[in-house]
Amino acid sequence: MTYIAITVGDGDNLSYMQTGRRQWMQERQQRCANDSSYLGCFPLLWSASPHMLQQAPTWMRWYYAQARVTQNDYFVLPPSGHLYAYPSQMPPDMQAAFVRQTEDDARLMSTNSAVAWEVALSWQGAIDGYFPRYDEGGVMQSFFAVNVPFMIPVLPFLDGEFFKVLGNHSRVVLFRPREWRGTNPKGAPPLSWAQYLTPQQMADEINGYPPGTVQQIYLTSDGGANLETIYSLVPLLEERVRMVDHEALAAMALASHAEATAAQ
């Protein structure tokens, strides 16, 4: 099997959460009401700013109410957890506070996953020193990496890894960056063609992953993607490919890692 989770991005933007993402969620709720099968209501992740809890609690309650109806929508923290930031570049004391704040946000939002931003050349330092900090608390389980700038490859993942398991207790999973920024490449930055794919092209990529692959995809709308883009993708995936939630994705990654470690 191949396991995939798609995160609807840009949830750090409260304006988006008030307008476009609200419309997507309304459409999603209607689709699930009309068809509760896997193709009609597959698992889907939504990034959502934890600051809605204080700044717009009514909005946050509304989103969670829709998720309770569909039973297949889940929330993760947006880049990079507590704040729109690059945590590995923080001084040690500020980074430690950021970790605690992100864990507190995760508890309040009943999640254990976050989108994580770093700039292209800071990933190794983040892998070595920042992400392992979450292993001690046991609150955060997975991070979905997004590279800045997104068209530059991330060197620590060039060996074909889809994820890394970090920490002394090996319970934090960092998934390699994979952004899907829409279907329209017009006006896209140079070297970014791989982030602008049609549903068929993305399905061809996913269907071509090696058996046993566990991967995440971070979807944004700056290249024209919308909820219909995701719904057009899912029927094109082979039967061995399953959309899952964040907890199942992490569980599959940890199981794969444990098996590979035992075989060494």
Note down the domain range covering 170: 2-263
User: pLDDT at residue 161 above 80?
Assistant: yes
User: pLDDT at residue 81 above 90?
Assistant: yes
Interacting residues of 253 by C-beta distance below 8 A, sequence separation 6+: 142, 162, 163, 165, 173, 175, 214
Q: Alpha helices, DSSP H only, in the chain?
A: 14-18, 20-34, 52-55, 57-70, 92-109, 123-125, 133-137, 199-207, 227-233, 246-263
The amino acid that residue 101 corresponds to is Q
pLDDT tens digits, 94-151 = 999 999 999 999 999 999 999 999 999 999 999 999 999 999 999 999 999 999 998 8
pLDDT tens digits, 231-241 = 999 999 999 99
The reported pLDDT for the residue numbered 153 is: 86
Q: Of 239 and 159, which is predicted with more confidence?
A: 239
Tell me the average pLDDT of the chain.
96
Structural domain total, the chain: 1
pLDDT tens digits, 186-233 = 878 888 989 999 999 999 999 999 999 999 999 999 888 999 999 999
* CATH code assigned at 31: 3.20.20.490
The reported pLDDT for the residue numbered 223 is: 87
When pLDDT is averaged across residues 43-50 and rounded to a whole number, the result is: 98
What tokens were used for 34?
């009309």
Burial string for 175-197 (b: 16+ CB within 10 Å, else e) reads bbbbbbbbbebeebeeebebbbb
User: pLDDT at residue 264 above 90?
Assistant: no
